[in-house]
């Protein structure tokens, strides 16, 4: 969850520079932000199902690797379209990180320590 939150903060801070470097308009910048969130929200249940089917740890690790790879793709984007596509893929990867991480907390910690975890 921290990765997702920090990602949104970084993108918000970098929007003016992205606009200048990529010659992006307001609508395109809005999609840079929204591609991640729409993809994450749309695939959250899929990520949960994958974690149930293939194992929480495996899906979590694959999601983290996918998030790292798509972050590199986003950083290397030369056009706004490439950036939007990589942000959408980043949201899909985050959808594979969030459900297993929350369910792993429930499995790893006894009920009295879950609130702290």
Q: Per-residue pLDDT for 1 more than 80?
A: no
Domain ranges of the chain: 2-113
Percent of the chain beyond pLDDT 70? 98
Output the pTM of the full model: 0.85
Decide if 15 contacts 63 (C-beta within 8 A): no
Range 21-26, long-range pairs (CB < 8 A, 24+ positions): 22/77, 22/79, 22/80, 22/83, 23/80, 24/80
Name the more confident of 113 and 81.
Answer: 81
- Phi-psi category of 55—alpha, beta or left, where left has phi over 0 and alpha has psi -120 to 50? left
């Amino acid at each position: 969850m921290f990765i997702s939150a920090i990602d949104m903060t970084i993108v918000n801070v970098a929007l003016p520079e992205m606009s200048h470097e990529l010659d992006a308009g307001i609508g395109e910048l809005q999609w840079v932000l929204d591609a991640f969130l729409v993809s994450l929200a749309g695939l959250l249940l899929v990520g949960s199902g994958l974690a149930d089917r293939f194992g929480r740890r495996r899906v979590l690790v694959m999601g983290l690797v996918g998030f790292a790879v798509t972050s590199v793709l986003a950083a290397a984007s030369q056009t706004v379209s490439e950036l939007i596509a990589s942000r959408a893929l980043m949201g899909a990867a985050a959808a594979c990180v969030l459900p297993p991480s929350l369910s792993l907390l429930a499995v790893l910690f006894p009920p009295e320590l879950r609130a702290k975890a």
